[in-house]
Amino acid sequence: MSRDSLVEKYNERHEGVDYFYTTCHNNGCWDATCLIKCGIKDGKVVSIEPDDSVNAGIAREDDDENAVQTGMLQARACPMGHAWRQELYSENRLLYPMKRVGEKGSGRGHFERISWDEALDTIAEKMRVMAKENPDHPWLYYCYYVAFESSDFPFASYMPGTITGWGDHSTSGSAAAEDFHLGVRLTDCLIKGTSDAYPGFEAPDLLNSKLVVLWGFDPMVSWFGMVPYYMKLAQERGCKFILIDPVYNVSAEVLGAQWIPIRPGTDTAFGLAVAHVLYTEDLYDHDYVAKWVEPEGFEEWRKYIVGDVDGVVHDPEWAEPITGIPAETIREFARYYAKMKPVHLHQMYGVSKRNLGDYAAAVAMLLQAMTGNLSIPGGCEGGGANLVTQPRIFAPVPNTGQIPGDVVNPITNNNNKVTELMHCQKLYAAGEITEDEFRRRIGCPPDSPLPCLKMAIIPNNYINNQHNVSKRMKGFANMEFSWGWQYFNDQPSMEFLDIVLPSPIIQFESTDMHFFGINRFWGSPSGMMNYFLFAGKGVNPPGEIRSKDWVWMELARRLGFADKYNPKMLDVTDWREWDEQVIERIYKPAYEEWAKDETGILAYNGIEPRPWEEFVKLPIVRVPGEPGEWFYPFKNTVEWDRSPFKTPSGKIEFESSYVKNNDLTKTRYGGLYDAYPRWQPTYQDLPANDSYYHPWTQNYPLSMVTPVSTYRQHSANDQNPWLKGDCYEHMVRMSPADAADRGIKTGDRVLVYNQFGEVEITAYVSSKLLPGTVSIAHGEWSKFDHVRKTKLMPYGIDTAGNCNLLIGDTHLPHIVGALLTAGLVEIRKVGE
């Protein structure tokens, strides 16, 4: 076929196509704002194309060094971003409101279609009755994202009884260490705006790095936005990469990284041995330590490292049999790390989201402080909230005219302890545990009322997607009343709802707010802060799907506070008019007010606002950054010679004075934590309960890690046909040695099991894993075989391979907080 024929066919295909820009703010990908250009024809999305809002038609953007240095590059989507049409037009979309008939749980009841009026009337009445019946205890859980000392429940200020969580999911393993040792609290800088200590970095700052250490990090897969692209650009410009991970991952291949295989859960031991070399060979940055580090704690940790505290010298020879890394490799890594400044040592969340993993996060931060890399250009904070930076460009702020109510809901629990809450409230009611034990196990602050959960609102696949799924399912099956939104008819969490509402895919089919009030002017906190997008509504959803914000407004009408909740939309009752009126009444005025530039900030940044009608055709505002002036950790405070560290001493505390001077069991943390990172905590005799060295390995000798996948955002897109089959097959990866011991080969169906669950999955034998390690990607939808039921699996053995069925949720006596993502398992061939 000739070139002209190809062009003609292309033009015919795109004749009559309009374009709409949006992003992938859905189910876990809220921190990227990759831009996708959607072709709309006959009311449907017919194509999804890359960002062309800058450098359109240019084959290689990075040929222009100025574009690279100023961040004027396209924000291109990953494979998931280009596959959304298969989700939008899936034959399995949930199209109508439904109610549960019979028992809740997989295979134990069924759904019947109901009207919207019946659904909304039932929900509103349940809310009204439960609020009246439970005046003294928080009873309602809205599990969009109960985190950061918020409930995120739209009616929280109007209705008492909302469960409010502290902590979060993503950074949960590192947050305590970040607070105790650096005095940095993600809630303060990201949510409340009460701190200007921003621990993150912007992607172009990677061009300042001489060495990048990927510690449990696979950025080409797990970090969306511009960071992976700039890592590749840095590598092409001579930056070196080292991977510390049990698995040789995609990023190691792409970036040419040296792989240092490490046994899962031994990262703290590795870090202690590196610190030993830095201390004993005098390789730490004396000037940085003198300025930013509290000296007494620095010396106390040194004593522990060199063996003055417990007689154990934590040198590379000590760490070798623990980590599986040769002592000489550890020693040479430490020396290379010390001399290669600036070093971007980036420990990712999975390293610390395990039992005792908080210490691994702390070690990463302290190593960065020792080497003077924690708060410099090309450096990295290490193990914490590396995505949060100072705002660079301010988007319009929409105003609904909302008049908040006067209800203040106290913090009730750690957001990763809702399953434990459901379990413990029954034990407490039966007198089987004390109030103190109840509080400790769920992270309930001493001065807060105890929660008593009666209603759950689930707008996602929450029940499927976190640790200890069997325990979670039991709790939600016994919930007095649950309702929420779901996308598909076979979504696992749907089986536990009394009423289910069909959900729009909000970045295409509605103007709904995202969690924590993130509106349709979407900016990015992850790696590149020089642009924002307005994502309106591209297409109408199928069936009877309606905007979520319309649903909230209808419930507010029934509950009697609609006039306060959303005054500007009070007279809009027709759901067909909702989204158009939201744009006209809320977003257009917000943009026009912003465009007035009464403060002059837009002119200062070189922004020339376009009229609204022109703006919505290409609804992206992007400004160039200054080469060499991109954000690095704590840049805004360091350059003013002001400490960003909100510890009692105002410095980085290797030995936390807060921990030393407070009984953490009497705080929301519930458990114990040593004042400086140790390999074996002083308060327990056993190793971590997901460790190679725990007694459970006698029955479950394989250490399971659960990385994210290229083809899922948590569990979104799990059923997408473009991302299945030849593209991706969900398997358990295991080493040749472990497979040979069990007579397993690639393609065999195997049972992966432990004391928490049993899952059947296909095996894949690979030399890219350390022996003793197995890997199952997170996010697979459970699929229970209702015939093959066991004591552990009352709904049947999972035949899809959901790793979360194999992960426990026990923290104590250690502090609560981390969302656990690892476990110990055994594997055998099915039928043996």
What is the spatial distance between Cα 98 and Cα 133, in angstroms, rounded to a whole number? 26
**Same domain for 309 and 190?**
yes
Number of domains, the chain: 4
- The residue-averaged pLDDT of 304-321 equals 98
CATH code, 814: 2.40.40.20
- Output the pLDDT for position 9: 84
Q: What is the pLDDT confidence band of residue 145, given thresholds at 50, 70 and 90? A: confident
**Same domain for 137 and 107?**
yes
What is the spatial distance between Cα 706 and Cα 233, in angstroms, rounded to a whole number? 28
Task: Establish if 396 belongs to a structural domain.
Answer: no
How many other CB atoms are found less than 10 A from the CB of residue 449? 14
Parallel, antiparallel, or unpaired: how do β-strands 758-765 and 749-753 relate?
antiparallel
Task: Establish if 680 belongs to a structural domain.
Answer: no
- Output the pLDDT for position 225: 82
Q: What is the pLDDT confidence band of residue 61, given thresholds at 50, 70 and 90? A: confident
Which of 233-247, 715-729, 792-806 is predicted with the least confidence, judged by mean pLDDT? 715-729
DSSP for 200-214, written as a single string: ---GGGGGG-SEEEE
- Output the pLDDT for position 29: 59
Q: Where are the alpha helices (DSSP H) in 627-762?
A: 635-638, 657-661, 736-741
- The residue-averaged pLDDT of 364-385 equals 95
Q: Which residue segment(s) compose the domain that 108 sits in?
A: 98-166+404-524+537-618
Which of 473-487, 516-530, 742-756 is predicted with the least confidence, judged by mean pLDDT? 516-530
- Segment 21-55, tens digit of pLDDT: 999 876 555 667 889 999 999 999 999 999 999 99
Pick from 25, 58, 88: which residue ends a domain?
88
Which of 29-43, 649-663, 749-763 is predicted with the least confidence, judged by mean pLDDT? 29-43
- Segment 796-808, tens digit of pLDDT: 999 999 999 999 9
* Tokens, residue 318: 């000590």
**Same domain for 155 and 183?**
no
- Output the pLDDT for position 526: 65
- Output the pLDDT for position 337: 99
- Output the pLDDT for position 473: 97
Task: Establish if 639 belongs to a structural domain.
Answer: yes
- The residue-averaged pLDDT of 474-489 equals 97
Give the Å distances, CA to CA, from 773 to 481, 541, 641.
Answer: 41, 44, 45
Phi and psi torsions of 521, nearest 5°: -90, 90
More confident residue, 462 or 224: 462
Mean pLDDT of the chain: 95
**Is residue 819 predicted with pLDDT exceeding 70?**
yes
**Is residue 691 predicted with pLDDT exceeding 60?**
yes
- Output the pLDDT for position 143: 81
User: Residue 744 in contact with residue 791, Cβ under 8 Å?
Assistant: no
**Same domain for 32 and 107?**
no
- Output the pLDDT for position 236: 96
**Same domain for 773 and 821?**
yes
**Is residue 515 predicted with pLDDT exceeding 90?**
no
Task: Establish if 812 belongs to a structural domain.
Answer: yes
- Output the pLDDT for position 523: 81
CB contact burial 316-339 (16+ within 10 A = b; e otherwise): bebbbebbbbebebbbebbeebbe
- Output the pLDDT for position 25: 73
What is the spatial distance between Cα 25 and Cα 33, in angstroms, rounded to a whole number? 7
User: Residue 582 in contact with residue 573, Cβ under 8 Å?
Assistant: no
Task: Establish if 67 belongs to a structural domain.
Answer: yes
- Output the pLDDT for position 26: 62
More confident residue, 802 or 10: 802
More confident residue, 5 or 206: 206
- Output the pLDDT for position 525: 59
CB contact burial 239-248 (16+ within 10 A = b; e otherwise): bbbbbbbbbb
- Output the pLDDT for position 38: 97
- The residue-averaged pLDDT of 62-77 equals 91
- Segment 659-684, tens digit of pLDDT: 999 999 999 999 999 999 999 999 99
Which of 63-67, 94-98, 295-299, 472-476 is predicted with the least confidence, judged by mean pLDDT? 63-67
**Same domain for 565 and 642?**
no
- % residues pLDDT > 70 (the chain): 99
How many other CB atoms are found less than 10 A from the CB of residue 637? 18
CATH code, 339: 3.40.228.10
Q: What is the pLDDT confidence band of residue 293, given thresholds at 50, 70 and 90? A: very high
- Output the pLDDT for position 528: 86
- Segment 386-412, tens digit of pLDDT: 878 888 888 999 999 999 999 999 999
Pick from 42, 67, 88: which residue ends a domain?
88
**Same domain for 128 and 198?**
no
- Output the pLDDT for position 103: 97
What is the spatial distance between Cα 112 and Cα 379, in angstroms, rounded to a whole number? 56
**Same domain for 292 and 427?**
no
Pick from 57, 88, 119: which residue ends a domain?
88
- Segment 192-219, tens digit of pLDDT: 888 889 999 999 999 999 999 999 999 9
**Is residue 150 predicted with pLDDT exceeding 60?**
yes
What is the spatial distance between Cα 255 and Cα 62, in angstroms, rounded to a whole number? 17
CATH code, 151: 3.40.50.740
Task: Establish if 751 belongs to a structural domain.
Answer: yes
Is 601 strand, coil or helix? helix
Task: Establish if 192 belongs to a structural domain.
Answer: yes
- Segment 606-639, tens digit of pLDDT: 999 999 999 999 999 999 999 989 999 999 999 9
* Tokens, residue 778: 């997170």
**Is residue 517 predicted with pLDDT exceeding 80?**
no
Q: Where are the alpha helices (DSSP H) in 78-236?
A: 84-88, 116-133, 175-177, 186, 219-222, 227-236
**Is residue 730 predicted with pLDDT exceeding 80?**
yes
> Which helix (H) or strand (E) is 471 found in, with range?
helix 469-477
**Same domain for 434 and 506?**
yes
Is 161 strand, coil or helix? coil
**Same domain for 586 and 636?**
no
**Same domain for 268 and 415?**
no
**Same domain for 720 and 738?**
yes
Q: What is the pLDDT confidence band of residue 96, given thresholds at 50, 70 and 90? A: very high
Task: Establish if 8 belongs to a structural domain.
Answer: no
